[in-house]
Amino acid sequence: MCTSISFFPSIQPGNEVVERSPGYGLLWTCNTSVVQSLYLSSLSSTDYTALHHPRFPSHQVRIKKTDFCDPTVNVYTGYLDVDQGAKHLFFYFFESRRNPEKDDVMMWINGGPGCSSAMGLLMELGPCSIDMNNSSTNGTLWNPHSWNSEANIFFLDQPVGVGFSYADYGETVETTEDAARNIHAFVTIFFDMFSSFSGRPFHLSGESYGGRYLPSFASYIYDQNALAQARGQSTLNLQSVLIGNGITDISTLYSGRYEIECGTAALEVPFQHISTCVRMKIALPRCLNAMQRNCVDHFDSIDCRAAVNFCDSELSTGYWASGRNVYDISKPCIGDLCYLENSVISAYLNNLDTRQLLGVESPNNFSACSSEVGRNFNAHMDKYAVPAQFYVAGLLERGIRVLIYAGTYDWQCNWVANKLWVDKLDWTGKSQYNVAEWRDWTVHGTKAGETKKSGVLTFATIRGAGHMVPHDKPAESFAMVSRWLAQEDL
């Protein structure tokens, strides 16, 4: 069952609007003055309310209240229905613990491509964490370092096929640029419908493949803002992008991996076999040259794939054979995606009571990552086809703040690779950034890592953290985000 509400900003308060909700057979009559002051707290906890927007006739947002995860705040779940309702993207929304009426809004997206943001929610930065010791009554534990302590935050399962997101007829989204359109539609509908959030500072955050996703999503939002402003329409107050251990400029990835394994960038004594390091050192120049020539300077799908295959064969197989966690070199790889939490999260979210509480309508079981989505993106060589660092440069030139942060124990999307691409990023602030000094940043008097900043660009390391920084260093990650939202130096 679903209540239908339509948003018509061009109609003056006092006029009645009658709108039939496609697919639900319900008729809703409302005064537009009520619609424009719609509050999340007025939503049903049993039925979805459908939100429509004239700028996005093939989209709708369905949203409901729920008692999931954090009893101290209002929590909502729902779907973004796209392409005339054929595809459904699932989301979680948690109001801020501090001041939901004034705090910024943030969206978190996990990577993959194909991994659910429920991982970020339940084992990283969400208001509750999966209970690994069966000590709770509901399967989760309170997270005192949740990022919703100071921000209203979305967790979105995208693209379709990820987590509880699904398609009715086998449709797929297979490139980052296609996914960007849905992100923009979803956020616009939400901000326009719930006027209490209208104009709030908005931040896009994520990790891993988020280094490819987020620069594209933010750029699309910025460009659509310019078009909307020219038409006299509402815009999104995009303020910043936060990328944790991201894959952005793929040309520096393998240089970074060599330093993590064979240098002292992560550990005081290299852990990789000397013979393996010699093999990597010999292959590295050829790898870098082929990647730059065939994937960055001029993308050729056949030659780029050949370059990637060579680099992986010569520079990655040694680590995969080590048995170490590819996301944290200090740990062994144990469990699904090297973490035991993932199988527990899957079991918890596949529980019928949990699905009912969330309002899940997906016919599929939950899995942490979708291999099908990953294969589809790989078939398009999405990671390589569009250099994401070009988007980052464009955002910086337009005054959008960017935070690149990385745990030093990650191998997969390591901090050295991120430092290298940020150092060589071609933008007008490059020279000022490169001469800026590195500084220690601390939490409760203890060093958390190193950081440097110039203008709207900040880089930060988190010492002793792996790929999933909030999982490994929750207090430090929250302190970082708190200072970032307050526009303070780390």
**Which residues form the catalytic set?**
208, 410, 467
How many Cβ atoms are within 10 Å of 298's Cβ, its own excluded? Answer: 10
Work out the end-to-end distance of the chain between its first and last CA atoms, rounded to an integer number of angstroms: 47
Q: Which of 193, 147, 185 is nearest to 481 (CA)?
A: 147
Lookup: tokens for 476: 């430090």
Instruction: Tell me how many degrees the CA angle 422-423-427 measures, rounded to the nearest 5.
Output: 75
Secondary structure percentages of the chain, helix, strand, coil, to 5: 40, 25, 40
Strand partners, 454: 457
Q: Which amino acid is at 428?
A: T
Q: How far apart are CA 87 and CA 158, in angstroms?
A: 11
CA 165/CA 89 separation, integer angstroms:
4
Gap between the Cα atoms of 269 and 263, Å rounded: 8
H or E stretch covering 382: helix 382-385
- Three-state DSSP state, 476: helix
Closest CA to 451 of 467, 462, 466: 462
Those residues whose C-beta lies under 8 Å from the C-beta of residue 24, and which sit 6 or more positions away, are 1, 2, 4, 50
Please state, in angstroms and rounded to a whole number, the distance separating the CA atoms of residues 52 and 254: 46
Q: Which of 289, 238, 233, 244 lies closest to 394, judged by CA?
A: 238
Residue in the structure block whose two tokens are 């602030």: 429
Q: What is the dihedral of CA 186, 192, 196, 200, to 10 degrees?
A: 70
Spatial separation of the C-alpha atoms in residues 267 and 125, rounded to whole Å: 26
Angle made by CA atoms 199, 201, 38, in degrees to the nearest 5: 40
Task: Look at residues 456, 309, 432, 363 and name the one whose alpha carbon lies nearest to residue 168.
Answer: 363
